[in-house]
Amino acid sequence: MEKQTKEMPPNQHVVKNFIIYAEFGIPEVEIQKYNLKVTGLVQNELSFTYDQLMKELPHAKVKTDFHCVTGWSVLDVEWEGVPFSYLLEKAGVKDNVKWVNFYSLDGYTTIIPFEDLKNDPQSMVALLMNGKPIPDKNGFPARPIIPHLYGWKSAKWLTEIQFMDKYIDGYWEERGYHERGNVWDEERFKGMSGKHSRKRPIL
Ligand SMILES: Nc1nc2c(c(=O)[nH]1)N[C@H]1C(S)=C(S)[C@@H](COP(=O)(O)O)O[C@H]1N2
Ligand SMILES: [Mo]
């Protein structure tokens, strides 16, 4: 077979392994007490135990590349988890929702535009990484995966998904990183995009 070179997002280079980031350290997860909550502007707030996430909810698999805004990319990571399409439907997300906040057990937060979650059919709450429960250092038990967004939008040790009509900064957004973080448009910092290199309006 011919060797296929896959298209890379601008200014990213391939590394073999994930570089671990944990701004607040790696938290101790008591899995019996763990819940993943879906809150905010929804018809039905949801809460799931780890068992429910693993055994009762539908799962999907995606094989996708992971891109950190600092320039490294890991190719062909296989994630398995609950598709966001299922959670959106089940929660009944209201019409005025524009933003989605992610909260983590360690205090980390980040935010993405709702349309990026909704329109990326591969987006999921990942529970397994390369066939095994996500390792502790990589965010056990759950992290959101939205393949076309930079890695900082993938909040490890995810505990809450909150649907909002207004924008608020998360941890890195407060430090100047982009509201959306699309890797193909190089949305690394606020007001910048590699494709446009000019101010872009916030949704
Ligand atoms: N809770 C938490 N989630 C986080 C981070 C963090 O520091 N804390 N770092 C983010 C960044 S910048 C990246 S690139 C990825 C890295 O994932 P990894 O540590 O599994 O390599 O996690 C993201 N999610
Ligand atoms: Mo990152």
pLDDT tens figures, 70-129 = 999 999 999 999 999 999 999 999 999 999 999 999 999 999 999 999 999 999 999 999
Residue 29 has pLDDT above 60, yes or no: yes
Q: What is the largest CA-CA distance in the chain?
A: 51
How far, in Å, CA of 118 to CA of 95, rounded?
12
In the three-class reduction of DSSP (H, G, I as helix; E, B as strand; rest coil), residue 137 is classed as helix
- Residue of 152, 159, 173 to test ligand 1 pocket, by largest number of atoms within 8 Å of CB: 152
What atom of ligand 1 comes closest to residue 151's alpha carbon?
Answer: 14
107 CA to centre of ligand 2 in angstroms: 16
pLDDT on residue 42:
98
Closest CA to 41 of 117, 1, 3, 95: 95
Q: Which two tokens stand for residue 6?
A: 């896959």
Sign of the torsion angle spanned by Cα atoms 149, 94, 124, 162 = positive
2 to 5, 6, 7, 8, 16: CA distances (angstroms): 10, 12, 15, 18, 22
Q: Where are the domains of the chain?
A: 34-175
What atom of ligand 1 comes closest to residue 18's alpha carbon?
Answer: 21
- Residue of 154, 159, 189 to test ligand 1 pocket, by largest number of atoms within 8 Å of CB: 154
Structure-derived torsion over alpha carbons of residues 71, 75, 77, 83, reported in degrees to the nearest 10: 70
How far, in Å, CA of 189 to CA of 64, rounded?
23
Is 108 near ligand 1, meaning CB less than 6 Å away? yes
Count of positions (residues) in the chain: 203
Identify whether 10 is preceded by a cis peptide bond (ω within 30 of 0).
Answer: no
154 CA to centre of ligand 2 in angstroms: 9
Convert the pLDDT of each residue in 119-170 to its tens digit. 999 999 999 999 999 999 999 999 999 999 999 999 999 999 999 999 999 9
pTM of the model: 0.94
What atom of ligand 1 comes closest to residue 74's alpha carbon?
Answer: 21
Task: Count each helix (H run) and each strand (E run) in the chain, helices first.
Answer: 3, 11
Instruction: Please state which of the four CATH numbers 3.10.50.30, 3.40.50.2000, 3.90.420.10, 3.40.47.40 is assigned to the domain occupying 34-175.
Output: 3.90.420.10
The DSSP secondary-structure symbol of 175 reads G
pLDDT on residue 193:
66
What atom of ligand 1 comes closest to residue 156's alpha carbon?
Answer: 3
pLDDT on residue 5:
75
Average pLDDT over residues 19-43: 98
pLDDT more than 90, % of the chain: 90
How far, in Å, CA of 178 to CA of 129, rounded?
26
41 CA to centre of ligand 2 in angstroms: 28
Residue 66, beta-bridge partner list: 74
